[in-house]
Amino acid sequence: MPSRWARTVDWLRLNAITALTCAGGAALGRLFEAGAVAAHQDWPQVGIGLVATHLTRNRGLAGIWLVYFLTADLGAAAAQPNPGVRLALRLVASLILLGQVALGAHLLGVLSGANPLNTRKGVFRLVVGSGLVAGTAGALVRALTGFALGLGTREVTTIFFYRLSKFMSGVMLVAPLAFVVVLGRPPRLTRGRVLELALLLLALLWTTAASSTPVLPKFSPFKEMFLLLVLPLTLWITLRAGTWGGSVAVFVASLFPIWGTLHGWSAFSFPATRTSEILIHLYLVTVSITTLTIGAALQEIVATTEELREAKSDLEEKVRRRTADLERERDFGTAIFDTIGALVMVMEQNGRIVRFNKTCQDFVGRSFEEVRGQTIWDLGFVPPEEVELVRRRLENDHPVGENHLIAHDGTRRLFQWTNTRLGSGEDALVISIGIDVTDRKLAQEETLEAIQARDLFLSVAAHELRTPLTTLQLQLQALQRFVDRNVDLPNEIAVRLRSALRQTRRLGDLINELLDVSRIMHGRLQPERSRVDLASVVADVVDRYQIALEKSGSELELRGIDRPIIGYWDALRIDQIVDNLLSNAIKYGEGKPIVVEIFEDGETAHIVVQDHGIGISPADQERVFGRFERAVSTRYYGGFGLGLWITRQVVEAHGGTIRVQSALGKGSTFEVILPLMPPPETELELPRDEDLPFLPRI
């Protein structure tokens, strides 16, 4: 409820303000009428009502209508004896005028609070929409009303143009002044400009007074000429003070001509008062349209100039910042170019030097100024035997390459080059960056020699260890058979003997792994294929690990060994694959169940070993197949880290693949996929191990 009262109070306040402003326009009209023989002058309140309606968005129409109703021009109908008829005519006349004002504000087509005089488009809408269209509509309604009241065609035509001209005067003479007073901002003027404008306004008043009043009778014969001076003066004021000055000048220029015409001193010397009024209003409207259009154009030029000035300032600032950035980037690039440890040369396609960094200058012992314009062939730092190689590389756009250069002290260094071509055709440039790889190459060669020496040592050591270890294993096996036959011996001897056998077997497995590394590194891992039953191989391996399974506490589940799966493989290597996978499952299975499954799928055989132990992290699942790689600590789990690497090499030598699926704490699943048949060109042989046979399994 309080909000409704607040809205009502606000509405009343707004309409009171619009009524007061329109009453001021009506008072100005009454001043023009004082002592005049002409009819009612409502054009000042029309202009004020149009601006008020535009600013209040039609919310102040009630106050405007009240003033229009109280001051309505009834014309000849004012002599009507019937008060009811006069009241009805007054209501119709006020509603027609109110409708014209509302239509004009609507057709103005600019946002509330926006001054239409700032643009030529706004002035055009003020003239055409608010003036001609709304004025014609109202004048046409009045003309039709005149026909309805029985007036003649000539009189109705006069009424039409009379009402149109007065409405246009309100729109073009009073409304612009109201717009600049409410919405405009007076221009900042110097004292000299203020004095100039004051003199121009006085000249405008004097000119209009001389043309339309008897104040200066000496100039009466020239009143038409003086009236024609109004437009140049208003334009002058507009050029000096913009739209604000033009609106004031147009209003000031209309005062004496309209007042003089109403009092019979028409500049156009027509005996009919209404005709004189029509002519003076049309003339002043024409002056206003011209002045306001020029003012709007000038305002647009000023606005555009200001925008261009701001844009120029912004552009200059951006250019300044960009220039500073480019200079900083240039300095940064130059610093990198000159301080980088690599050789950097910018050359033409024929080898002519364009840029030469400080590292190059130090290498050749000459400054850039000394080598500018020369070719790299002129410098003589490319060995003669490699000149053709470097030339082809530049001409054929090879992005990378290596060649030697001769330093100024005569030493030869090996450089690795990266070439980047800029542009195309004859104007193309080549940026060459050379990195000295001499020491790295020497280190690589030394490392390769060390690796080869290590592999040779491992191979020799494994060979030398294998013979005594085999003898030791045979002696321990014979001793175990002796102990088994003599049951009276202490049990501790059997226990220690089995422990010694397990350790010698473990040592034998490690030696076998080292021998496999030597075979693989020398490319001698060639499967000796024969007809093999995978189920039988898996059963043998599982049988060997029964004791280890019992000690670990893991239960083993075998799947798929109840029927043979025949393929052509190296039986010892397939045994090795299953052995490595099962031993890892026992070692890392934490005593949890283990599943070994084999099955045939089309032309491939699958070996799956699954445990539920510690698992492998995703980051380590590919690394565990590397040589000497481990995913666990050697403190708790022994071995060289070769088992899975050897397994992968053996699987791939058979044309198969191995993969793992695992998660930490959930165990691992290794799957080996082997083709059943070898490649067509493979020769099938009986199993043999003539090179470096495995130690017997215990």
Query: Which of residues 385 and 491 earns the better pLDDT score?
Result: 385
User: Measured between alpha carbons, how far is 505 from 469 in angstroms, rounded to an integer?
Assistant: 9
Strand 657-663 and strand 667-675: the pairing is antiparallel
Three-class secondary structure of residue 61 per DSSP: helix
Token pair in block for residue 249: 């000048």
Q: Please compute the mean of the pLDDT values over residues 508-537 and round it to a whole number.
A: 73
User: Measured between alpha carbons, how far is 338 from 341 in angstroms, rounded to an integer?
Assistant: 9
CA-nearest of 614, 653, 611 to 631 is 614
pLDDT tens track for 324-348: 988 888 888 777 777 777 888 888 8
CA-nearest of 26, 51, 53, 54 to 40 is 26
Q: Give the CA count within 13 Å in the CB-facing half-sphere of 636.
A: 7
* Residue 415 neighbours by CB distance under 10 Å: 19
Residue 366 pLDDT exceeds 60: yes
Is CATH 3.20.20.70 the classification given to domain 337-440? no
User: Measured between alpha carbons, how far is 59 from 168 in angstroms, rounded to an integer?
Assistant: 23
Quote the percentage of the chain above a pLDDT of 70.
85
At 598, the pLDDT band (50, 70, 90 cuts) reads very high
Quote the percentage of the chain above a pLDDT of 90.
27
Most confident of 339-343, 519-523, 548-552, 687-691: 548-552
User: Measured between alpha carbons, how far is 37 from 277 in angstroms, rounded to an integer?
Assistant: 12
Enumerate the domain spans of the chain. 1-184, 187-322, 337-440, 443-519, 528-675
Residue 50 pLDDT exceeds 80: yes
Q: Please compute the mean of the pLDDT values over residues 495-516 and round it to a whole number.
A: 68
Q: Please compute the mean of the pLDDT values over residues 504-520 and round it to a whole number.
A: 65
Query: Which of residues 633 and 444 earns the better pLDDT score?
Result: 444
Most confident of 109-113, 141-145, 216-220, 505-509: 141-145
CA-nearest of 690, 660, 684, 662 to 672 is 660
Residue 495: alpha-carbon gap to chain centroid: 76
pLDDT tens track for 258-300: 888 888 777 665 666 788 888 889 999 999 999 999 999 998 8
pLDDT score at 273: 72
Instruction: State the greatest distance between any 2 C-alpha atoms of the chain, in Å, as a whole number.
Output: 166
Residue 1 pLDDT exceeds 50: no
**Predicted structure pTM score:** 0.52
pLDDT tens track for 112-162: 667 888 889 999 999 999 999 999 999 999 888 888 878 888 888 888 998
pLDDT score at 465: 61
Residue 635 pLDDT exceeds 50: no
For the domain with range 528-675, which CATH number is right: 3.20.20.140, 3.40.50.1110, 3.30.565.10, 3.40.50.920?
3.30.565.10
Percentages helix, strand, coil for the chain (3-state, rounded to 5) are: 65, 10, 25
pLDDT tens track for 173-206: 999 999 999 887 888 888 999 999 999 999 999 9
Mean pLDDT across the chain: 82
Token pair in block for residue 491: 């049990």
Phi, psi of 111 (to 5 degrees): -65, 145
pLDDT tens track for 671-680: 999 999 987 7
Residue 606 pLDDT exceeds 80: yes
For the domain with range 443-519, which CATH number is right: 3.90.700.10, 3.40.190.10, 1.10.287.130, 3.40.50.720?
1.10.287.130
User: Measured between alpha carbons, how far is 636 from 124 in angstroms, rounded to an integer?
Assistant: 95
Token pair in block for residue 650: 């053996």
Residue 75 pLDDT exceeds 60: no
Q: Tell me the C-alpha to C-alpha distance, in Å, between residue 209 and each of 127, 216, 253, 328.
A: 27, 7, 9, 71
Cβ density class 340-359: b for 16+ within 10 Å, e for less: eebbbbbbebebbbeebbeb
Comparing 164-168, 469-473, 513-517, the range with the smallest average pLDDT is 513-517
Residue with tokens 């799966």: 565
Residues 6+ apart with CB under 8 A from 526: 653
Query: Which of residues 685 and 650 earns the better pLDDT score?
Result: 650
